Amino acid sequence: MRPAPAASVRVDTGAWRGGQHKSISRALPEEVAVALTYDHATFAVMMASPTDLEDFAIGFSLSEGIINGADDIVELRTVIVDDGIECRMLLAPEKRDLLEARRRHIAGPVGCGLCGLDSLAEVSRALPKIQAATTIPAEAIADAVSRMSRLQTLNNETRGVHAAAFFNPARNDLTLREDIGRHNALDKLIGAVTRRGDTPGAGVIILTSRVSLDLIQKTAVFGAGILVAISVPTARAVREAEQAGITLIAVARDDGFEIFTHPGRVIMGAQSDVA
């Protein structure tokens, strides 16, 4: 069996800094074509980082509505092929209708979450209404954001990938996944959290990216009630989060953040002291 590609590759390059030229070495993130196949048929091909691909396959399947739980995949293998990597899945027979209902072919340059949809109606698909009652102190959110950077090993090496993390306030721990694509990073995280058996509504998703419509959709299908992002959301993402019942927090830094929708899940100031 051929080895999987490395997550990063070191290259020699020349740099022009401060009016001087010098030779340097730099680590670059790798990207490979990853085919997601169900019952021997390709459903999507994404450019992704070649890490945590079983998490990616499960998370993508969940967030795209192909399965309802990890047990719906009765077999999952990652196979290195000439042109990339295949995540080969066999579905439980009763889930094959869901696959046909959601079938689409995607060829996204960096895991574009809405590439390849076959109708405009699919963009505005109905989302579940989030009922998660989990609340969290504002200070805990800021602390979790600051802790993320230490876990981003691939980004710390290359400065070129996104991360998605799941913060569980009860355990005060972070589960984190990285990828060149922000959608892929979230799918990998959803797969990892699902495989670990955590309850989506009991935690907070944190993203090192802007928030677009499709990331709100994936979060809603997953069932998390709080989404935090380092960058800004789109206006459409804010409207969608409001409708889905998601607490959308963005422009998150070590010293604070902005709350765009459903602020009741965030405990601030004196409220936090009382809690």
The pLDDT of residue 270: 58
Tell me the pLDDT band of 274, cut-offs 50, 70 and 90: very low
Percent of the chain surpassing pLDDT 70: 88
CATH of domain 136-274: 3.40.140.10
Q: What mean pLDDT value characterizes the chain? A: 90
> Residue 147's closest CA among 105, 100, 206?
206
The pLDDT of residue 112: 57
Tokens at residue 221, please? 């299908």
Asked if residue 108 has pLDDT above 80, the reply is no
| CB environment 35-55: b (16+ within 10 A), e (fewer) | bbbbeeeebbbbbbbbbbbbb
Asked if residue 221 has pLDDT above 70, the reply is yes
Asked if residue 143 has pLDDT above 70, the reply is yes
CATH of domain 32-124: 3.10.20.10
User: Stretch 115-144: mean pLDDT, rounded?
Assistant: 77
Q: Is the dihedral of CA 251, 256, 260, 265 positive or negative?
A: positive
Tell me the pLDDT band of 40, cut-offs 50, 70 and 90: very high
User: Stretch 207-233: mean pLDDT, rounded?
Assistant: 96
Cα dihedral 111, 186, 93, 72, rounded to 10, equals 160
> Residue 27's closest CA among 9, 44, 51, 43?
9
Give the Cβ contact number of residue 26 at 10 Å: 15
- List the chain domain ranges: 32-124, 136-274
pTM of the model: 0.90
The pLDDT of residue 124: 61
Tell me the pLDDT band of 273, cut-offs 50, 70 and 90: very low
Q: Which of 45, 57, 112, 221 is catalytic?
A: 112
Tell me the pLDDT band of 271, cut-offs 50, 70 and 90: low
Q: What is the pLDDT of residues 182-192, one digit of tens each?
A: 999 999 999 99
Percent of the chain surpassing pLDDT 90: 79
Q: Which residue has the higher pLDDT, 98 or 137?
A: 137
Asked if residue 103 has pLDDT above 70, the reply is no
User: Catalytic site residue 112?
Assistant: yes
> What CA–CA distance (Å, rounded) separates 134 from 1?
45
Q: Please, are residues 195 and 203 in contact by the beta-carbon 8 Å criterion? A: no
The pLDDT of residue 131: 87
The pLDDT of residue 3: 84
User: Stretch 150-161: mean pLDDT, rounded?
Assistant: 96
For residue 77, what are the contacts with CB-CB under 8 A and spacing of at least 6? 87, 88
